[in-house]
Amino acid sequence: MAFIGFRCGRCGATYDPGEVRYVCPRDGAEGTLDVLYDYDRLRAALDPERLRAHPARSIWRYAPLLPLRPETLTRGEGAGPLQTVGWTPLYRAERTARRLGLRAVYVKDDGRNPTASFKDRASAVVALKAIEEGASVVTTASSGNAAAALAGMAAALGLPAVIFVPHTAPPAKIAQLLIYGARVYLVEGTYDEAFDLAIAAAEAFGWYCRNTAYNPFTREGKKTAAYELWEQLGGRAPDRVFVAVGDGNILSGIWKGFRDLAALGWIDRLPVLMGVQAEGAAALAHAWARGDPDARPEPAQTIADSIAVGRPRDARFALQAVRETGGAFLTVRDEEILQAMQTLAREVGVFAEPSAAAALAGLEKAVREGMVGEEEEVVVMATGNGLKDVPSAIRATGEAPRIPAAIPEALKHLRAEW
């Protein structure tokens, strides 16, 4: 295992693997940690051609680049849905590219993961880390997707899960948690309040906490999407990647994955990273516009529940990811997100929940504002399936009309329309 320690994103302090568990002791919750690797050792041991020939079509094909012991990885490779996390399809969206006047647009459909969201990547790694550390219970706070992912992965491993979600979470996401057997608590407050409650409960009862960014291994699971893009694009990085952003951890994870590939010498440049936020939950976009290194807490209100975050927990790394790659943060209206849900479905055949569709809404805005070159190869990350939030899909399209069952009357209605 090439995992050699941690570095604090705030103060730069480094720690050995067993020295800290979640965040920097000096900076507390503001000091989220980056996992460090011995790249010299990895370069000597890894061959990209051998990796491409790996039979596993999952995140476990990247086992040497993950901070898990071999015996732990073996357990993950054979445990129910953990076996098929990742290696999600990358679709070429030709109609979208033509409409936007771009050379190539791809959609990475992470709604095809076992619990139907990108968050399976992080939860698979964290659930195994909990097993590795001898945890008896794993917990997290979530607006729904991370919780469902953790509940599913924990169930496959026989690990009890305790979940805290805002009481406003979509019913379909709550149903997922319950069917997996997690102990679910609906918090009468925001996601940010549920986040703090999960940390307090973990400390009080000795549970292992998966909370996004607070647990540094969430980023390590999410970075695998960058490895897959590199492989699926024939061993190269795209020019630009659009990512819907709440806490910022998916964005920082994709950045981490491409940084790993650059450190190994497998790519010679990083893609430009574009963070997309809802106008009603835009703390990171506002921090980026101000030039701040961190985000200030703000109220969050948007139809896209998965990115309705008022206090982004991975703000520093997310802002750094955008700035160091020459990217930008954009904000989009809820109406634009709903329209993008229809566009993704009708032009690409991908049914995405609102937060996932926000990434396409961001691409469309960036094109309108002249931020994307015509010859660029662009990837849109679709991070969650639309069945997670059916009411929003119906809001986007409207209800289907009802017609009589009797054939003559039904045909009369159809002739009036057709």
Query: What are the pLDDT digits (tens) for 22-36?
Result: 999 999 999 999 999
Vertex 26: Cα angle to 24 and 27 (nearest 5): 70
Q: Which of 388, 418, 359 is nearest to 106 (CA)?
A: 359
pLDDT at 292: 97
Place of tokens 């690409």: 348
225-263 pLDDT, tens digit per residue, is 999 999 999 999 999 999 999 999 999 999 999 999 999
Vertex 189: Cα angle to 186 and 195 (nearest 5): 80
Query: Is the model's pLDDT at 115 over the cut of 90?
Result: yes
| Extended strands (E) in 320-395 | 328-332, 377-382
279-295 pLDDT, tens digit per residue, is 999 999 999 999 999 99
Partner residues linked to 328 by β-bridges: 274
pLDDT at 80: 83
352-369 pLDDT, tens digit per residue, is 999 999 999 999 999 999
Query: Is the model's pLDDT at 44 over the cut of 80?
Result: yes
Vertex 379: Cα angle to 376 and 385 (nearest 5): 160
Instruction: Please state, as a whole number, how many other Cβ atoms lie within 10 Å of the Cβ of residue 257.
Output: 25
pLDDT band at 17 (very low <50, low <70, confident <90, very high): very high
Amino acid residing at 296: R
* Measured CA distances, 119 to 116, 149, 412 (Å): 8, 6, 48
Say if CB 211 and CB 141 are below 8 A apart. yes
pLDDT band at 393 (very low <50, low <70, confident <90, very high): very high
Place of tokens 């699926």: 232
pLDDT at 353: 97
52-102 pLDDT, tens digit per residue, is 889 989 999 999 999 999 989 887 777 788 999 999 999 999 999 999 999
In whole numbers, what is the pLDDT of the chain averaged over residues?
96
- Dihedral sign, Cα of residue 380, residue 386, residue 392, residue 397: positive
The share of the chain scoring above pLDDT 70, in percent, equals: 100
Residue 346 is given by DSSP the state I
130-145 pLDDT, tens digit per residue, is 999 999 999 999 887 9
Residue 200 is given by DSSP the state H
Say if CB 263 and CB 254 are below 8 A apart. no
Query: Is the model's pLDDT at 276 over the cut of 80?
Result: yes
Residue 241 is given by DSSP the state E
Residue 330, phi then psi, degrees to nearest 5: -125, 155
pLDDT at 69: 93
What is the full DSSP assignment across 154-165? HHHHT--EEEEE
Which pTM value belongs to this model?
Answer: 0.96
pLDDT at 106: 98
